[in-house]
Structure 1
Amino acid sequence: MADFDTSHVKNIVLLGHAGSGKTTLAESMLYEAGIINRRGSIAERNTVADYHELEQERGNSVFSKLLHSKWRGYKINIIDTPGYDDFVGEVISALRVADTGVMLLNAAHGVEVGTDIIWDYTEQFKTPMIFAVNKLDDETADFDKTVAEAKAHFGSNITVVQYPRQQGAGFHEIIDVLRMTMYKFKDSGGKPEKMAIPDDEKEKADLLHKELIEAVAGNDETLMEKYFDKGELDEDEIKEGMKKAMIHHDLFPLFCLSAERNMGSGRLMGFIDNVCPSANEMPAQTTKAGNTLPCDANGPVCIFVFKTVTEQHVGELSFFKVYSGTIKTGMELVNENTGVSEKINQLFVVEGNKRTQVNELVAGDIGATLKLKNTHVNNTLHERGKDMELMPIVFPASNLTMAIESTKKGEEEKLSAALHELRNEDATFKVEVSPELKQTLIHCQGDMHLAVAKWKIENQHKLDVKFIKPRIPFRETIRKSAESMYRHKKQSGGSGQFGEVHLRIEPWYEGMPEPDGLNVRGKETHVLPWGGKLVYYNCIVGGAIDQRFLPSILKGVMEKMQEGPLTGSFVRDVRVSVFDGKMHAVDSNDISFKIAGLQAFRQAFQQADPQLLEPMYHVEVLCPEDLTGSVIGDLQTRRALVEGMDTEGHFTKVMAKVPLAEMQDYSSNLRSFTQGRAKFRMHFLDYEAVPFEVQRKLADDYSKVAKEEMMA
């Protein structure tokens, strides 16, 4: 039987900007619960959560980590998350399975950009939230300023439950206006002494206590009536009202901490146990079919995989939340996404890199299992005979694309396997083998995300790789019509080759009139895989070319359209009319007319005022108002057309149309000149003509490379 029933399992995720103290708080919580007997530190590189070699090198969290503590009859599953936006996938997957978020604010810095970015995701998931002002022992700590900024950014629903009696190096007393008690800590932290609120703090504490009660009662009519009748609410009534308001995202209690000195973590854990909702108190999950799935330990077994990690010498470790039923070792579950049957041979509760085997886990709990055959992030596993697929996590689009190459020949297969493993572990890491660009592309969230991928490839897979800028997927088209004739003639003993093709090419656009002065016998419209169209006309009269050779001419034209004459890019939006030619009774064949069609098209294209097109993207940059000028100035150096500004939450949103060629270093540059206080997103718009000077340089470069290849 499981040690804890569903009502006594609480799942929290620690959130906040990098450096806000999440990992240190997790360490204090484990210490307070007696899970560890000595608190590690970031400086000493010995915390339970940041056990990975890469994190110890960098001094900050890169991956989310599952931990758990046992506190006064409850199990608290803790997910520690990284604070940089590059690792947002780790944050989103943790939010998907958490029932409460703890947002840490650095009292020395107030609300930082990472906090704003993460808050957007908590709003999407409607995760009940606690705010905790940390580092109140810092010399520059300013509690009131931090609270004011938090309310300005996240709304007046933030309600103070605790405030510090003093700040800075002397911080050691916290006044709790829910319990109307003062907690006095020793310099070493730990369990505080409970004391009456001093007289000089009573007026402030009474005022905040009243504000807390009014905030709670304002979200519950029954409690409001009791408050009017009695002029007060008791502690249990306040707690129950807070829980309901938190579930509905109507109230966000705020606490005080010094995680490094272990002051306030025990009280926070007590609040999580007593007030924060368990999974069965949260709204039921909705399946993709639109059905609800209550979190009931006696229901049908249903688990959701939110994270996978590949461990050397062990294999793939799958982290999951039990959304229904009780999962036991030996069970066989069906993967709804793949149809594969998976046997659960082992179940674990996890403490960083330490796994403890258990026999079962109940609905609401989070655990891990090993060596599932074909199960990945976002997969739902359930009892055979059921039809349940939970809603998947939606991960953000990538912000940075780079091409990757092995520095040694013959290691392409190993590199492919390494990239496949990275993609399975991280849903925000995408791999694309581009036949057009003849490159392997990786799409990720930013420079730090890229650096982590490189570290894993080099250190875990022992491969030397290099990143290079990806080629730009230009397109070629024409601006005027042109005619060309090409005769292909080859004689080498026996039957030869002969084909002559006369054709006209024109820029194609929707609704254009039929070819002028030509006798149209047939028309084919081809929607091209790379965008745009080819419209192909048969205008042959008098049998100059046999009908059976027309598909061969088309094949030659299409072949050249896949490697345009200007830069070798795909050609689009062209109309080709074949109107004359010659053939030979013996020597004409398909290959002859394919070559003649290709060469006639190439010649005509060069005479038809060829135009190079480049991909244009709609870019939205979210930044604080004081950085708007810098953002716009930088965009304008990138040939951007700034289309306007708007507001989104607490950000100013700058909207622009920018060539993809100018966006390749944007992620790192934006982070650099805004000190990480801005973020951006982009999506493809269309193709537009490149400036003449750019086209000439690209065409010259292509021509030079082509000549070198011919001479080699």
Structure 2
Amino acid sequence: MRTIRTTTTTVPALAAVRNLGILAHVDAGKTTVTERILFATGTVHKRGEVHDGTTVTDFDAQERDRGITIFAAAVSCSWSGHRVNLIDTPGHVDFADEVERSLRVLDGAVAVFDAVAGVEPQSESVWRTADRYGVPRIAFVNKLDRAGADLDSAVASLRDRLGTVPLVVQLPIGREEAFTGVVDLVRMRALLWSGDDGTYTTAEVPADLREEAVRRRRELAETVAGLHPAALEEFCATSELSAPTLTGALRDLTLSGEGVVVLCGSAYRNRGVEPLLDAVVAYLPSPLDVPPVRGTYGGEERERAADPAEPFTALVFKVAATATGRLTYLRVYAGTVRKGDQVRDAGTGRTERVARILRVQADRHEEREEAVAGDIVAVVGPKAARAGTTLCAPAAPLLLEPPVVAEPVVSVAVEARRSTDTGRLTTALARLAEEDPSLSVRSDPETGQTVLSGLGELHLEVAVEKLRSGGVEVAVGRPQVSYRETVVRGLAGFVHRHVKQDGGAGQFAHVVLDVEPLGGPGFEFRSAVTGGRVPQEYARAVEAGCRDALVEGPLGGYPVTGVRVVLTDGATHAKDSSELAFRAAGRFGLREALRRCALELLEPVAEVTVTVPDDAVGGVLGDLAARRGRVSGSTARAGTAVITASVPLAELFGYASRLRGRTSGRGTFTTRPAPPAPVPASVAATILTG
């Protein structure tokens, strides 16, 4: 890592800041788009290539070896007087948590789609995540120079699979290898590239495309007018929309999420990148265009506007250990923080000092004196902050909602090969879990083994390789999936009395519990006690005890999910009742109640999309059936078949090798999480007795 010290910094007005992420399915060209943006903006002077391992954002050794993005990387650049803070996110499902944490702090996003494949499973997943956080997006249909590329098919998949309204503002000039430019439908002009250096010229719309361009411009205007009142007024008066009106309406529809502007190009050949940057500036929001951030403190909800004069408020979205120290990446939502300032961890109340502030350029950093609202920076100094931590001004605390952390679904046992490395392994595992909240480390109480859990095989492979590259030799067991237990038939009116007397003050708690299926994952607790028979603080203790009981279920010791517990009655003792006693009653009472309920085992399931040659379809379908897969669809695409199936995650270990063997190396597959499903009785019996 190199640090560049700068003596002066220029902070653009908030209206000229764009905080955006690049989102896509793996291999859609996301990192290449990022590299071309850095090249076009003059941030780098040589184009990096994924296949050469020379990209700026994929700087980790594993990323370069594997040719995929694993860790979200932040970079900054300037375009047309605007500061663009950009995060290149992973496209592989195993690293979806990096995408989740990035989207939590971004104002907008560019979603990249393959012009041949259209919407793919992981691109759909990250799109839904962006929907959940209300992040406005524009779409870039990439790889138009590939054989089989079709903008209209890709746009149709956006409409059908994502349920969005595509607002296509460009028309390709030339197909596949002959792709040389686009027609800008907003200004009705042609943008032509003669080489691959990114330089383009403007010209009249080619005569052979004039009629098609006029028709598509009309369709675009009609669609926009149907969604935007001001545009409708002009359209009714003139039967068309001027370029300024159309641009303003497209921006409004992007910010509201009612439509998605669609551009196209070939990032690898440097065609379409500069118009994409223009669209980022024109359509995506600045920090001033998004609502003030909302948080809570002391039971009250408050909000902070994106204003440098407001009290400092920031959310940590990433922590990384580097050779020069611990970096805490944060998005500043309000206020100003300067080097040397004291900040407060709103969750723990701990006060920390900001020793350095860095503008992030992937693995290079520029030192700054301050960071203001709208900035995405890394700071050195906070020692206890984690992803999801809120840092704020000590005198004006505010707790922001942290990003959702995905539950691990695959586990492996790890141990140091040398007994002298046991301590180092413990420290290294703790650091891994600190940097990546979707990794968890626990000790198996039965075997004494250390168990590392994550979101998939690749996720764990990367984590283990990181341990080894840090000098810790580890032995790794076979992957195991994380099963869950759930209630199928509940139990009403279960009575439990916790009475303990061993000298001095005793313990007394009496609870009556109803246990019900929740109808979905999670846990819900409610107190229906009336008349003050169980005080509210004791009811909260019962809830805490119930959560303790859900850690290990009665079937096989797996966590319990999908259960609702209602505290219907209870009793206290004037001297011997306490929160500790009621927590114990909740724990032991629910544990006993679950033994009397009907439970079943749940297993993680993946939706698998397999692309294979036509002549291999039969063998692949048979193999999926043998893996307890349920095929949900199959479509033909240019000599290949795309098969979609739901397959238990436990049956997918080693599937990549089997698929390569059955298809002579021509088959590929991708996965994304699906809702967990009950384990068949015969399989469950083997698991529980195994």
Give the alignment of 1:208-247 within 5 angstroms: 208-247=216-255
Against the structure 1 CA distance between its residues 215 and 625, is the aligned structure 2 distance closer, same or farther, given a 3 Å change threshold? farther
Structure 1 partner of 2:322: 311
TM, length-normalised to structure 2: 0.74
One-letter amino acid matched to 2:228? D
CA contact (8 A) 1:12 1:100 kept: yes
Would the aligned equivalents of 2:308 and 2:335 in 1 still touch at CA under 8 Å? yes
Letter paired with 2:451: L
Alpha-carbon spacing, 1:217–1:363, altered in 2? closer, same or farther (3 Å): farther
**Letter matched to residue 219 of structure 1:** L
Counterpart of 1:198 in structure 2: which amino acid?
A: P
Quote the residue 1:277 is aligned against: 285
Q: For 1:670 and 1:614, how far apart are their aligned partners in 2? A: 34
Deviations 1:641-683 (A, max 9, x none): x9x999xxxx999889xxxxx8545465499769434433465
Map 1:511-660 to 2 at 5 A: 616-617=601-602, 619-622=604-607
Classify 1:411/1:138 alpha carbon distance in 2 versus 1 (closer, same or farther; 3 Å).
Answer: same
1:694 shift after superposition:
7.9
* Offset, 1:382: 0.7
Match of 1:479 in 2: none
1:680 corresponds to which letter in structure 2? P
Deviation, 1:399, is 2.2
Residues in 2 aligned to 1:337 and 1:298: alpha-carbon distance in whole angstroms: 23
Give the drift of 1:410. Answer: 3.2
1:119 aligned to which of 121, 127, 140 = 127
State how far apart, in whole Å, the 2-side matches of 1:474 and 1:260 are: 44
TM-score by structure 1 length?
0.72
Counterpart position of 1:144: 152
Q: Per-residue displacement from partner, 1:373-396 (whole Å, max 9, x unpaired)? A: 211100111111213111110022
1:399 touches 1:681 (CA, 8 Å); kept in 2?
A: no
Match of 2:437, as an amino acid? A
Q: In the alignment, is residue 71 of structure 1 matched against residue 73 of structure 2?
A: no
Equivalents in 2 of 1:10, 1:32: separation in Å? 16
Match for 1:321: what amino acid?
R
Matched-pair contact (CA < 8 Å) for 1:6–1:365: no
Aligned position for 2:541: none
1:496-554 deviations in Å (ceiling 9; x for gaps): xxxxxxxxxxxxx99999xxxxxxxxxx9999xxx9xxxxxxxxxxxxxxxxxxxxxxx
User: Match of 1:433, as an amino acid?
Assistant: S
Select between 281-290 and 19-28 the one with higher mean Cα deviation: 281-290
User: Is 233-242 or 57-66 further displaced after alignment?
Assistant: 233-242
In the alignment, what sits opposite 1:290?
301
Structure 2 counterpart of 1:83:
91
Preserved CA contact (<8 Å) 2:483 2:603: no
Contact 2:314 2:331 in 1 (8 A): yes
Structure 1 residues 248, 653: CA separation in 2 closer, same or farther (over 3 Å shift)?
Answer: farther
2:105 maps to amino acid: V
Does 452-461 or 215-224 show the bigger shift? Answer: 215-224
Give the letter aligned to residue 133 of structure 1: V
- One-letter amino acid of the structure 2 residue matched with residue 92 of structure 1: E
Corresponding letter in the other structure for 1:61: T
Q: Which of residues 329, 334, 348 is equivalent to 2:339?
A: 329
| 1:680 equivalenced with 2:676 (yes/no) | no
Deviation at 1:471, TM superposition (A): 10
1:51 aligns with one of 59, 69, 93: 59
Q: Tell whether 2:367 aligns with 1:357.
A: yes
Specify the code of the residue in structure 1 equivalent to 2:434: N
Distance 1:443 1:634, change over 3 A: farther
Q: Confirm whether residue 206 of structure 1 aligns to residue 217 of structure 2.
A: no
Q: Of the candidates 421, 424, 441, which is equivalent to residue 431 of structure 1?
A: 441
> What is the CA-CA distance between 1:621 and the residue it aligns to?
4.5
TM superposition shift of 1:137 = 1.7
Q: Distance in 1 between the 2:427 and 2:600 partners?
A: 31
Change (3 A) 1:672 1:254: farther
Aligned equivalents of 1:55 and 1:142: distance in 2? 30
Give the conservation status (yes or no) of the 8 Å contact 2:409–2:482.
no
Give, in whole Å, the separation in 1 of the partners of 2:127 and 2:169: 20
Q: What is the match of residue 373 of structure 1?
A: 383
Instruction: Tell me, yes or no, if structure 1 residue 261 matches structure 2 residue 246.
Output: no
CA distance in 2 between partners of 1:691 and 1:173 (Å): 57
Aligned counterpart for 1:25 among listed residues 13, 18, 33: 33
> Does residue 160 in structure 1 map to residue 168 in structure 2?
yes
Deviation per residue, 1:619-648 (Å, 9 max, x gap): 5554569999999987976789x9x999xx
Could you report, residue by residue, the CA deviation over 1:188-240 in whole angstroms, capped at 9, with x for unpaired residues?
23221011112221222122222222333333222311221232332222222
- Unaligned 5+ segments in structure 1 are 476-508, 514-523, 532-566, 571-612, 657-661, 699-712
Alpha carbons 1:321, 1:365 under 8 Å: kept: yes
SS at match of 1:287: strand
**Quick one: distance in 2 between partners of 1:229 and 1:471?**
63
CA distance in 2, matches of 1:511, 1:391: 36
Cα deviation digits, residues 396-426 of structure 1 (max 9, x gap)? 2222122212222232221111111111111
Asked if 2 retains the 8 angstrom alpha-carbon contact of 1:14 and 1:81, the reply is yes
Tell me if structure 1 keeps the 8 A contact 2:410–2:479: no
Q: Distance in 1 between matches of 2:437 and 2:686?
A: 40
SS at match of 1:146: helix
Among 410, 418, 422, which residue is 1:412 paired with?
422
Query: Partners of 2:340 and 2:69 in 1: how far apart?
Result: 34
Match of 2:412 in 1: 402
CA distance in 1, matches of 2:625, 2:354: 56
Is the Cα–Cα contact under 8 Å of residues 181 and 197 in structure 1 kept in the other structure? yes
- Cα deviation digits, residues 246-283 of structure 1 (max 9, x gap): 12211111111211121111111112112211011012
Give the CA deviation at 1:184: 0.8
More divergent stretch after superposition (296-305 vs 112-121): 112-121
> What amino acid sits opposite 1:424 in the alignment?
E
Structure 1 position 446 matched with structure 2 position 456 = yes
Matches of 2:167 and 2:479 in 1, distance apart? 48
> Contact 2:409–2:453 (CA<8 Å) still a contact in 1?
yes
1:11 pairs with one of 9, 19, 22 = 19
SS of structure 1 residue aligned to 2:399: coil
Contact 1:133 1:256 in 2 (8 A): yes
Give the Cα separation in 2 of the matches to 1:21 and 1:9: 24
Indicate how the Cα distance of structure 1 residues 230 and 428 shifts in structure 2: closer, same or farther if over 3 A, else same.
same
Q: CA separation in 1, counterparts of 2:236 and 2:653?
A: 55
Deviations 1:108-135 (A, max 9, x none): 3322222122222122122111111111
Whole-angstrom CA distance in 2 between matches of 1:633 and 1:526: 56
Cα offset for 1:153? 1.4
Equivalence for 1:194: 202
Which letter does structure 2 place at the counterpart of 1:394?
A: V
Distance 1:120 1:672, change over 3 A: farther
Q: Name the SS of the counterpart of 2:74 in structure 1.
A: strand
Change in 2 beyond 3 A, CA 1:8/1:464: same
Distance in 1, matches of 2:176 and 2:446, equals: 59
The 3 A distance-change label for structure 1 pair 42 and 103 is same
Does the Cα contact within 8 Å between 1:407 and 1:465 map onto a contact in 2? yes
SS in 2 for 1:23: helix
Secondary structure (helix, strand or coil) at the match of 2:301 reads: coil
Q: Which amino acid is 1:303 matched to?
A: A
Structure 2 letter corresponding to 1:125: Y
